[in-house]
């Protein structure tokens, strides 16, 4: 998941967990200087200008980030956001799944949480997880600590920050079933802890404040046997391998499942299996996946998704909502 810690934009701009709203978009500057408030202030983490984002996302498409910031730790992130001009858009980037970076790039700061945010530890039936930890790491740590109920995270191709933001889920489980609370740095730089109730989860959606970045989360499971937990993780992994185009350049599940229906069945019934636009294709293996066949642009992928939505609406009367986030400038 994906990707990302960014909030959705209004429906109609594009996406179900939607396109990220870019308040105060900035023009592309070949040699940008970060608009920081404090003279002489320098973050402890890495801050780089004009970074290509395509290598960092699963689709392997998209433009550049005006700046890419990799904070040293949560305190560094908090201070950086406090110093950054409030008009500058900010987006968090995890593993780059469930995300389209548009070809015009992101006119602001992309925050990438590195190794300092990828640690997971167990205390009884509770896991303390950094926002950069992968679903596989979380589920494996839970197994080793005899904690059941987190096996489904094995199937989510993203990081804790992303699936906390969007209530990620699969194979009968959702983050709302296991979340205790999460640590968040607000766009202002303030550091707060939000409870499960604060996030007001619904299907693939939370009320996490715009511009906020999750830095850690606590998950609670139930007692289990490691062998039983591993068997369920193996079952999930085998099911994904058999049914999804995991070896392709893809973004994961493209559309949310409408109430009582499966998105892939609606896409298939509308005759979209194998449909192509440019280098983008609806997967032959799983029709709720779009793939980059080799030379697709982000515009190809997004246009293909919109064409699928149009055909499904015409065929079944159902308006599919994007699950993949689309961010940046076209």
**pLDDT at 32 (0 to 100):** 58
Predicted confidence at residue 247, as pLDDT, reads 83
pTM for the model stands at: 0.86
Are the C-beta atoms of residues 210 and 122 closer than 8 Å to each other?
no
- Dihedral sign for Cα atoms in the order 206, 208, 213, 215: negative
Per residue of the chain (330 residues), what is the pLDDT tens digit?
A: 434 333 333 333 322 223 233 333 444 445 456 778 877 889 999 999 999 999 999 999 999 999 999 999 999 999 999 999 999 999 999 999 999 999 999 999 999 999 999 999 999 999 999 999 999 999 999 999 999 999 999 998 899 999 999 999 989 999 999 999 999 999 999 999 999 999 999 988 999 998 899 999 999 999 999 999 999 999 999 998 888 888 889 999 999 999 999 999 999 999 999 999 999 999 999 999 999 999 999 999 999 999 999 999 999 999 999 999 999 999
How many whole angstroms separate alpha carbon 144 and alpha carbon 231?
13
- Asked if residues 90 and 108 have their Cβ atoms less than 8 Å apart, the reply is yes
Marked catalytic residue, from 139, 253, 283, 298:
253
151, 232, 302, 323: the catalytic one is 323
Domains of the chain: residue spans and CATH: 117-227 (3.30.465.10), 247-327 (3.90.78.10)
Residue 204 a catalytic site member: yes
What integer pLDDT is reported at residue 33 of this predicted model?
67
Catalytic residue among 143, 204, 311, 326: 204
């Amino acid at each position: 998941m994906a990707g990302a810690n960014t909030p959705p934009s209004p429906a109609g701009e594009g996406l179900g967990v939607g396109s990220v709203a870019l308040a105060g978009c900035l023009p592309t500057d070949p040699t940008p200087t970060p608009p920081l408030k404090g003279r002489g202030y320098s973050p402890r983490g890495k801050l780089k200008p004009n970074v290509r984002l395509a290598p960092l996302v699963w689709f392997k498409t998209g433009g550049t980030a005006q700046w890419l910031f990799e904070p040293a730790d949560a305190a560094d992130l908090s201070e950086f956001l406090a110093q950054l001009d409030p008009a500058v858009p900010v987006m968090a980037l995890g593993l780059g799944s469930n995300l389209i970076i548009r070809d015009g790039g992101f006119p602001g700061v992309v925050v990438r949480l590195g190794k300092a945010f990828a640690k997971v530890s167990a205390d009884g039936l509770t896991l303390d997880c950094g926002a950069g930890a992968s679903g596989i790491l979380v589920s494996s740590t839970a197994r080793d600590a005899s904690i059941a109920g987190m096996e489904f995270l094995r199937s989510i191709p993203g990081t804790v920050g992303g699936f906390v933001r969007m209530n990620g889920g699969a194979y009968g489980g959702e983050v709302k079933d296991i979340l205790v609370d999460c640590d968040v740095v607000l766009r202002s730089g303030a550091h707060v802890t939000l409870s499960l109730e604060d996030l007001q989860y619904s299907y693939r959606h939370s009320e996490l404040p715009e511009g906020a970045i999750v830095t850690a989360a606590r998950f609670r499971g139930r007692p289990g046997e490691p062998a039983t937990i591993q068997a369920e993780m193996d079952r999930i992994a085998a099911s994904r391998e058999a049914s999804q185009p995991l070896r392709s350049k893809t973004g994961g599940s493209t559309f949310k499942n409408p109430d009582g229906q499966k998105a892939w069945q609606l896409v298939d019934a509308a005759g979209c299996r194998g449909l192509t636009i440019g280098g983008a294709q609806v997967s032959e293996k799983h029709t709720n996946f779009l793939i980059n066949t080799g030379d697709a642009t982000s515009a190809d992928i997004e246009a293909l998704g919109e064409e699928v939505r149009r055909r499904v609406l015409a065929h079944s009367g159902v308006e599919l909502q994007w699950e993949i986030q689309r961010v940046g400038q076209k």
